[in-house]
Structures are given as C-alpha cells and as structure tokens.
Structure 1
Amino acid sequence: MFETAQQRMRHSWTGPGGYGQVLAVGIPLVMSMISHTVMQFTDRIFLSNYSLETIAAALPAGIASFLFISFFMGVGEYVSVFVAQYTGAGRHERVGAALWQGIWFCLPAWVVLASLGLAGGIIFGWSGHAPAIVELEISYFRILSLGAGFAVLGSVLACFYSGRGMTKAVMLVNMAGMLVNVPLDYMLIYGVGPFPELGIKGAGLATVCGTAIPSVLFCLLIFRKENERLYKIRSAWRPDREILRRLMRFGLPGGVQFFLDMFAISFFVFVVGRLGTAELAATNIIMSLDTVAFLPCVGLHIATSILVGQSVGAGLPEQGARATRNAARLGMLYMGSLGVLWVAAPEPVLHLFQPMDMTEAQFLPVERMGVVMLRFVAAYSLLDALVLVYSGALKGAGDTRFVMWTIALSSLLVMVLPLYVSVEVLGMGYQAPWTIFFVYAAVLALVFGIRFRRGRWRDMRVIEEDRTDAGTEGVPGAEGAAGLGAGAMPGPGAGKLAPTVTAEEHDSRR
C-alpha cells in the first residue's frame, strides 16, 4: 500500500503535464509576475506614505492606463500560442515569422496608446473624484500612456521564450526591470539624491523605465545568429499575411476579452471611488494587495496556455488536460494560503499603507473598511485561480471566441449593471460592490470550468496545417525546462498527422 502511494506520487510529478513540468514552466513565469507585483506593491506603499491623495489617485489612473494597454497586450501576447503550437508540431522555422507579426502589431499600438494620454481630462473628469485627485490622476495617466508601448513590445518579445517553454529567460529579464524600477521609484517620488521630488509623476516615470528595460534586453537576447539558424529570427522580418491574419483572428478576441475584464475592474474602482475618498483609498489599498495574489497566478495562466498549446500542436491534448488540472490545484493552494493570512492578520498588512502624515485615529476608517474588503478578497481569490487556469487552457488551444463572449456578457450583466444599480440607484455602501465582485468571479469560474471539461478545445489548433516536411528535419526541439519540444513530442510534421482541425475550421463547422 505504501509503495502504491509512492508510485502515485511519483506519477503525479513526472511526465508531460505533471506537477514537475507545470512548476518547471510556471515557476519562472510566477517569479516574473512577482517582479511586477513587487514593482506595483512598492509603488503603492511609497505613494501611500507620500500622501492619501496620491494613493487615491494612483490606482484609478493606473487601471485606466492598463485598461487600454490590455487590449493590445492581449492581442500581442497571443504570439506565445503560435510559438507553442509551432514548437509542439516541430515547425521551428516558423517561430521567427510568428514573432515578427507581433512586433509589427506593436507599432500602431504604441501610437494609439500614446495618443490616448491626451484624453485624460475627459476620462477622469467623469469620475466624480475630488478635483485635487483628478489633477493627480491626469498627470499619472499621461506619463503611463506615453510609455505604454514598451509594455506591449516587451510582452510580445517574451513570447519567443515563453512559447517554447524557456521561461527562465523571461524571469531574469523581468527581474532586471524590477531592480531598476524599485529604487528609481523611491528616488523620483521623494526626491532622493540628484532627483527632484516629483510625487506621483515620479512614480509614472519610474514605471515607464521599468518596462523599457525588458524590451531592450529581450532585443539583445533574441536577435542573435544562433536564433537565426534555428528559428529564422532575422530573415523572417517581412509581414506574413497568413500568420498575421490568424493572429488577428485568434488574438483579437483575446485582446477584447482582456480589455472587457479590465473595464469591469476599472468600472468597479471608479464606482467605489464615488462613495468617498476613504472608500477609494481603502479599495486602492486592497486592490494593491490583491495583485500579490493575482499576478503570480497570471504566471500559471500563461504556463497553462503554453503547455496546452504545445500539446495541441503535437496532437496530444490529454497532456494539456493533465497540466491544466495540476495548475488549477497549485493555483488554489497558493491563493488559499494568502487568504488565510489576510483573514487571520489583516491589520499589520494594512498598516504598511498608512501615510506618514496621518495619525492612527485618522487612518482607522480606512483600516476598518480594509479588514472587511480583505475577507472578500480571500474568498474570491480561490475562484480567480480557477478562472485564470481554465481560461489559459482554452486560449492555448484557440478557443478565444468563447472566452471573449463569456467575459463580455459576464462583465455587462454580472458586474457593470449590478454595480451601477446598487451604488448609483439604490445608494448602497461599499460592501455591495465587493459582493458583486465575488459573484462575478464565481460565474466565470463555473462557466470556464464547464467549457474545459466538455473538451471541445481538444480538436482545435491556431496554426496552419503543415503541408510539407521540408526544412524541419534535424531541427532540435525546445531545450527549456518545459521538456515539450520535439524531443518529447512526435517529430517534425507531427501536427499534420494529428486528428485535429484549426480553431477557425472548428468554429465554421459549428
């Protein structure tokens, strides 16, 4: 009996889709997200200590900026699925062309995002926040918008490594950005050393620098001779109509889904902010804490998408299903551990955000609301883990339209309309929006879980069918921690032998 239990444990950790592989691919991505979390968390702490007004302004402006970035990032990041499926199918010479289509997409995206910075007055004038806070929001939003292109470009370039399962490179590059951002953030906000005291403007400039560093480092790492030989990373720079069409076909729903999800969260923050400055400050603090749980699980979301994409590209979807189930368990374990901490000891965590110029008595209303809000976060974080992992699996196979429509309908019917009615029409307090947020997460977890279990994603693909084996013989597989390169999957051309259809054909048959 003991030997049987040992064998089961060993089996659960080994092989494609086991815990070992999920962690090998996922831990570097989780660490990458933790580096983003550290940047945001320290940024919020610095701004909280600077003044209550700056922390009240930072989250609405930051979320509004990321709301627009999210659409273009959602499209661009889908390059990782193309890279994963080409890798799984053994068609490594197409990886460079897929990456370049994402790079070409970044150029108009940057122009649009920089132009949106001019609309800050209109966006935050509607918010109903105090005039002093609106002025800070506009300044922060404009700086973030001008540098937003770096965030999109960096996410696309990272796909070259993440799509092949080589996630350690992504981790190291993102940590380099963090090491630049955190001290620069402190110096620019408070005016340390040669830098002037810029407050929230300094936080914006530090954020832009922190996102620019990874883009530069990825370019230096990717465009090398070795990668040209294996992946045509230099010679495939021309627009490829077939890949670009498919990237728009499958990536646009992903971008719309990301945008709508962020819109629902942005609407949530703006509506709660209309209840009062204390409510807005408490919400901003709690949402900043929520990123400590949410962003690392985004790493599992990306890892699941990669592993499912590679398994589907190789015609072995069961390996992707196994990886998804294991990733979901790991995500819930992480979220549950943080939830216990927040429910058991909320006050010490909240006091990290207390402004230096506020007394305990002045901060007490924010603290009391924060304790209640943290209980909501502890509850819906478990659901968030399932939402992220299951949606990542569906997107990795190409089921992006379903994900998009689910997010669209849920955002409107479960989040936006109930929020407006509860706060603006019925005049309910801050607990009503947080209850609605919990229900929103529960609906998404249920719908995505059912879709995944029904298994329609198993016969989808986003890449074109390989009509020739020419040019693929002798090309080594991905040598990263994923172990899902050609060495672990069927060899070159395996994708065309698999009983699968493209996701586009799947949709047309339905």
Structure 2
Amino acid sequence: MVISQGTFALMIFTDRFFMSLVSPTHVAATLGGGVAAFMCMSLWIGLLSYGNALVAQYLGAGKKSLCSRIVTQGLFIAGLCTPILWFMGYGVYLSFDGLGHDPQQLVLEKQYFEILLAWGFLTLFKACFSSFFAGIGNTKVVMIVDLLGVVINVPLSYSLIFGYAGAPEMGIAGAAWGTVLSNFTALVLFFLFYRSRSNSTEFSVADSYQFDRPLFNRYWRLGFPSGLEMFLNVAAFNVFILLFQSYGVTAGASAAIVLNWDLLSFVPMVGLHIAVISMVGRCMGAQDFQRLNSVISSGFVLGLMYSGSLALLFIFFRESLVGVFMTSATENDAIFQLSSWMMIGMASYVMADAVILVAGGVLRGAGDTRWLMVTSVLLHWLMVLAQYVVIVELQLGPKMAWMIFVGLILALALAFTLRLTGSGWRKHIPQEWTPVEAANL
C-alpha cells in the first residue's frame, strides 16, 4: 500500500515538475486547480474508502460473501453521488473568479480543474475496488494496478503537455488528460482482477450484484462521517492554499514546490494508514484484541522510522530539493529563498503526519469516525480562521501563515495521540459490530 500510494504521489509530482518547465504560473495553477478538484471528490472518496474497514471486518468474521456485497453497495453510492459531484464542481468553478488570482493563473487553474472534475467519477468507482482489495489484504493487486497507472501516466502526460510522439501540444490540459486516461486504465484493470475466477469463487462475486439495505445503510452511516471529515479538511486546506496564493506568484510557486515534496512523504504514509485500517478491522471482526495492540505498535514503528528519515533529508538537503524545480523557466531567487525556508517547517511536521495517519487508521478501523470528524474539522477550520486574520486582516507575510499551518499539524498529532491512549474509542467495538451481525444473519 505504501508503494501504491507512492505512485499516486509520483503522478502529481511529475505533473508539477513538467509544469515547472513551462512557467511558475503553471506550477501554481496545477496546485490551485488540483486541490480544488480533489476537494470536490474528497467527500465521496472518503465515504467509499470506508469500504476497506467494512470488508476487513466481514473477512475477520468469516463472512466472505458479504465482502463482495460491500463493493456493490459502494458502486451504487458512487453512481448516486456523481451528479452531486458535478453540481459541487460547477459551484467551485464559478468561485475561482472571486479569488483575486493572477489572470493568467486563473485561466489555467480553471482549465485544469474542469477536466479533472468532469471525469472524477472514475476515481469514485476505482475507490470501491481498491477498498475491497485492501480490505481482504490482497494489496499486491492495488500495487500492480497503481504501478501500471503511473507507467502510463508519466509518458502520456509528457507527450500531451509538450506535443511529443504525435500527440497534440495541450499544456496544462494535457497534464489533466493524462491523469484521466490513467485513472480509466486503472479502473478497467481493477474490474478484471475483481472478476477473476479465483476471486469470484472465493467471495461469491456473481451473487453480490444486489441492493442490500442493511449493508448500504451501514456503509453510509459509518462512511459518511469519514467522507465529511475528508471533505471539510480538504476544503480547509484548499481555502488556506487559495489565501496563501493571494500573496502572489512567488508564494504560490513556493507552496507548490514544498507541498510537492510533502506529497512524497505524506501520500506513501497514507498506504500505511490504509493497511492499519484493514488490519484493525480484521481484528475487530475476529475479536482478537491482543493482535490489535500489536498492529498499533507496529504501525507507529514503521511510520516514525519512515517519516524520521525523510525529516532529516528535508532539513539537510532542502536547497538541493528546491533546486530540482529551479528550471530555466522558473528560476527565481525569491522563490528559491522562500521555498528553502518553508522546507524547514515541512520537515518539522512529517513525523506528526505519521502519528496522525497511524492513530487515525486505528480509530477509523474501530468505527470512531464521529470523534475523528469533529476534532479534525474543528482544528482545520480554526487554522483557516487564523489564516484569514493573518493574511487578510493583519496582512502579515507568508512565513507567518506557513508557521500557523505547521502548528495545525502538530496540534492534530497531539489530539489523536490523546484519544488513542484513552479508552473512549474502544467502546465502539461491540456497539458497531454486533448489530450488523444480527442484521445480516
């Protein structure tokens, strides 16, 4: 799962690197448009991704036929949510005009956003199958599909951006279409793996294509808080990015560069988060609480070792890492200096990210989704309020705004740790599992 999520980070990283070969404005536009598109999709991705925990719980309880039914309920949800996704996207598209961005950047980020959002339903359907394979522990399938996706995406995006190998020169639109086509390929591959003879037999796939109200309701009831949490958090992050970009192209390009390196640390750890959710869910289903404690400790060891190594890399080699994006089209001393300073702040919170993802995976796998939603959303939007005061009212510089963002990550890590060390989240185990057992017997 770490490798799988790493391929996703690599796709975004290469898109922004290719844009750095064009101009700083293009780099800033991919950040603004990309985050806005993901914000619209995040509500439904978060909801559908909870299928991982549900599949793992039923697998742990020995009810394999219900694992495939979870996929079917997820596909129903994805289909129902697609028109809502487009409606949300239309509203966000109109809101770009009031953000005060550079006119050239505004045109580019709207173009990038429009393509990604129109085909966002591919990501939703893909999440259903990815969650199934993560939930049953067959993460090799997820890795293979995502690796093939990035193998297709990188050369395809390069060709479409710059007009190589007979492809039209599409600029930032080419980067978006490369992502769409790789998502479509990944979805087809997931479906072929899902319908394979061994998988169909083991999980009774042929009998799963039916609406199951108890499963649908449970999927929605537990998944929606996760989806709402992700949506509101990404929305808060999006507002922060848009406010930060109001400082100008220098600040916008610097944020894109630093957050690009952040992707290569954070997104692979999302793979660990997914693995923890799956293993915790399986322990829930089997009522194996001794192994649950082992999963928790192992998750923290792996997360802190990985993030600690990256923190050292980001501190001691920050200027070299920023220099990767200092191409002939984007070379600018102000961007270099601000980005190098921001890398120090990023290095200080990567280990906190690991704590958040591991602790959050345990709590999510146990069904403690409402507490996660309330706490995480509250802290994120307090950060946005502070950013508004700093950037708009007090008109302080980008360094102060960045320090407030770093403070948010550290506060989240502390809150999640305190929750995990308490006993409140454990009460969800019997209350969430027993009713569903009764409903499906």
- TM-score class, shorter-chain normalisation, is over 0.9
Task: State which drifts further: 219-228 or 153-162.
Answer: 219-228
Structure of greater Rg: 1
Report the Cα offset of residue 251 of structure 1: 0.3
**Counterpart position of 1:496:** none
SS in 1 for 2:230: helix
* 2:227 equivalent to 1:259: no
Question: TM-score by structure 1 length?
Answer: 0.83
**Which among 393, 404, 411 is matched to residue 443 of structure 1?**
411
Cα–Cα, structure 1 residues 113 and 466, in superposed 2: closer, same or farther, change >3 Å? closer
Read off the aligned partner of 1:223 and give its amino acid letter: R
The one-letter amino acid paired with 2:127 is: S
Aligned counterpart for 2:203 among listed residues 227, 231, 234: 231
Q: SS of the residue aligned with 1:460?
A: helix
Alpha-carbon distance in 2 for matches of 1:52, 1:266: 19
The answer to whether residue 338 in structure 2 is matched with residue 369 in structure 1 is yes
- The question of 1:82 aligning with 2:82 is answered no
1:301 aligns with 2:251: no
State the number of aligned residues: 438
C-alpha separation in 2, matches of 1:116 and 1:144: 13
Counterpart of 1:392?
361
| Map of 1:466 onto structure 2 | 437
How much has 1:393 moved relative to structure 2?
A: 0.6
Which of 383, 388, 392 aligns to 2:352? It is: 383
Equivalent residue for 2:422, pick from 454, 468, 474: 454
Instruction: Quote the offset at 1:68 in angstroms.
Output: 1.1
Q: TM-score, normalization: structure 2?
A: 0.96
1:271 to 2:271 alignment: no
**Identical amino acids, percent of aligned pairs:** 33
Q: Are residues 351 and 469 of structure 1, via their aligned partners in 2, closer, same or farther at CA, if it must alter by over 3 Å? A: closer
Superposition deviation, residue 338 in structure 1: 1.3
For structure 2, the 5+ residue unaligned runs are: none
1:49 counterpart residue number = 21
- Between the aligned partners of 1:283 and 1:226, the Cα distance in structure 2 is 46
Post-superposition shift, 1:188? Answer: 0.5
Distance 1:320 1:431 in 2: 41
2:323 corresponds, among 346, 351, 360, to 351
Q: Are residues 41 and 469 of structure 1, via their aligned partners in 2, closer, same or farther at CA, if it must alter by over 3 Å?
A: closer
Structure 1's 265 and 153: CA in aligned 2 closer, same or farther, altered over 3 A? Answer: same
Q: d(CA) in 1 for partners of 2:82 and 2:135?
A: 23
Q: 1:442 to 1:272 in 2, by over 3 A?
A: same
Q: Which structure features the higher share of helix residues? A: 2
Gaps of 5+ in 1: 1-28, 471-510
1 CA distance for matches of 2:232 and 2:380? 7
Equivalent residues of 1:317, 1:458 under 8 A apart: no
> Which residue is equivalent to 1:504?
none
The residue aligned with 1:186 is 158
Indicate conservation of the 8 Å contact 1:83/1:164, yes or no: yes
**Residues 329-387 of structure 1 deviation map (CA, whole Å, 9 limit, x = unaligned):** 211221121111121121221122124334x5xx1110000011000000011111101
Cα shift readout 1:209-246 (whole Å, capped 9, x = no counterpart) = 12111111011111234333322212121111101111
Write the deviation string for residues 9-42 of structure 1: whole angstroms up to 9, x where unpaired: xxxxxxxxxxxxxxxxxxxx00001111111111
Q: 1:82 offset after TM fit, Å?
A: 0.7
The CA distance in 1 between the partners of 2:428 and 2:72, in whole Å, is 24
1:38-65 CA deviation, whole Å, 9 max, x = no partner? Answer: 1111111001111111111110100000
Q: Deviations over 1:58-99 (max 9, x none)?
A: 101000000111110000010111100001111112111111
1:318 corresponds in structure 2 to: 290
Q: Would the aligned equivalents of 2:65 and 2:208 in 1 still touch at CA under 8 Å? A: no
1:438 counterpart letter in structure 2: V
